[in-house]
A and B are shown apart, each in its own frame.
Chain A
Amino acid sequence: MSKTTTKKVYSDVAGPLEQFDIKPLYDINVAGYDLSLTNSSAWMIGILLFVWAFMFFGMRKAELVPGRWQSMVEGLHEFVVGMVDENIGPKGRSFVPFIFSLFIFILVANVAGLLPYSFTVTSHIAVTFAFAAFIFVMCILIGIFRHGFAWFGFFLPPGTPWYLMPLIIPIEIISFLSRPITLSVRLFANMTAGHILLKIFAGFVVSLGVAGGIWSVVGVLPLAMNTALYALELIVAIVQAYVFALLTTVYLNDSINLEH
């Protein structure tokens, strides 16, 4: 009897990878392409609505002496402006809305992913790579648009001896081309690994609890571990959003100010 219940409960526990599954909620097909509304897109829309509400209700009164909510909105804005000013300089002011949107979207996506039963948008390499590729292409276009052919001088650091050119230029090109990959994989891997770890330890808690007897007591250990991991994941969620936005400003700086 007890053996069958154990087996049943254990089979009910979601596998650690199941949380990343894309489940279509509403099928949309346009010219043979699958554009379905999925759990992922639902969360994206949710993030959009949340950020809009956060901004709208925070700034509705826009008082001279801000309340708590308004202070949060202003603090976030000030933070992003500071980041842009520090990394790009005065020419970067026009990119503040983009960096702000990027930061707040990824931040909310990462943190929302830690809610129980939620889906983490940023745990999909398709999403993070779409961001990274967009930023990559944007950087190239801005560089060429602002500096013309001179922008390709970016691949040759000033002061390079002529005999090192055959070595330095390929290295610079490879490091430049690897930017979208590192940018997207960093966020995707952090989110995915953390969530898998949380799920695995949660699975230990359930299976040890169901095992009964002394094992139920031992189950406290993975529970404590999961609590600590959760706090760590919260930090990782915030830090990764920051890193993503920060690296975007650094890359934009290379295109805008063209210095090595």
Chain B
Amino acid sequence: MPQFDFARVALPQIIWLFFSFGLLFLLMRAMLPKVAGVAERRASTIGGDLDAADKARLDAETRREAYEAGIAKTRTDAQGLIESAKADAAKANEAKMKAADEAAAAKIAAAEAELSKQRDAALVKLDAIAVDATQDVVERLTGTRPAMAAAAAAVAQAGS
């Protein structure tokens, strides 16, 4: 095996190995920081992007919350407005109803008063007619027309 012919193969190989590997080591020591730097830069960029995305998400969240709170507030406001409007309308209605009721009651009272007055008047007239009729009946029966006062007295007597 040529490998064990040390006297011939060992020295030139070891010398060149130390030369080439040493140079390789120096080259790698100079080049590897760049590789590590790129990885680091990538990590920090990705981290920064993630942070920005997170911040944007939080921002959107707070905005959404504010929006929802605004919506809810507006809704309650509207609800309150509706309630008060309803209450106002009910109150106004009630007042109107009351007024109308009063007006109607007044009218009814007036009509009733008128009615009773007219009835009274009609009753008075009825007495006159009854007196007249009594006079006529008596005249027919007796041939003499009684005096008006006598007839009226008779009617009043009969009516009571």
Pairwise interchain contact A96-B32, C-beta atoms closer than 8 A: yes
B75 within 8 Å of A (CB atoms)? no
Given A41-B20, A124-B9, A130-B18, answer yes or no on A55-B27 (Cβ-Cβ < 8 Å): yes
Interface residue ranges of A53-77 to B (CB < 8 Å): 55-56, 59, 62-64, 66, 70, 73-74, 77
Pairwise interchain contact B25-A101, C-beta atoms closer than 8 A: yes
Pick the residue among A40, A59, A64, A123 that contacts B42 (CB under 8 A).
A64
Question: What residues of B have a CB within 8 angstroms of the CB of A97 in the complex?
Answer: 25, 28-29, 32
A-B contacts counted at CB < 8 A amount to 126
Pairwise interchain contact A64-B12, C-beta atoms closer than 8 A: no
Pairwise interchain contact A37-B41, C-beta atoms closer than 8 A: no
Q: Select from chain B the residue with minimum beta-carbon distance to A99.
A: B28
Q: Select from chain A the residue with minimum beta-carbon distance to B14.
A: A130
Given A40-B12, A59-B31, A98-B25, answer yes or no on A64-B38 (Cβ-Cβ < 8 Å): yes
Nearest-CB distance from B73 to chain A (Å)? Answer: 46
Pick the residue among A22, A52, A62, A66 that contacts B27 (CB under 8 A).
A52
A259 within 8 Å of B (CB atoms)? no
For chain B, the bracket of interface size reads 35 or more
C-alpha spacing A126/B32, complex, angstroms: 29
Chain B interface secondary structure, helix, strand, loop or mixed? helix
Pairwise interchain contact A124-B13, C-beta atoms closer than 8 A: yes
Pairwise interchain contact B34-A59, C-beta atoms closer than 8 A: yes
Question: What residues of A have a CB within 8 angstroms of the CB of B159 in the complex?
Answer: none
Spell out B's residues near A (CB within 8 Å). 1-4, 6, 8-21, 23-25, 27-29, 31-32, 34-39, 41-42, 45
A-B pairs with the 7 shortest C-beta distances? Answer: A41-B16, A44-B20, A126-B10, A97-B29, A22-B9, A101-B25, A101-B28
Question: What residues of B have a CB within 8 angstroms of the CB of A98 in the complex?
Answer: 25
C-alpha spacing A74/B36, complex, angstroms: 8
Pairwise interchain contact B1-A44, C-beta atoms closer than 8 A: no
Instruction: Name 18 interchain pairs, CB-CB below 8 A, sorted by A.
Output: A38-B13, A44-B19, A51-B24, A55-B31, A55-B35, A56-B31, A64-B41, A66-B38, A70-B38, A77-B35, A97-B29, A100-B32, A125-B3, A125-B4, A126-B13, A127-B13, A130-B17, A131-B21
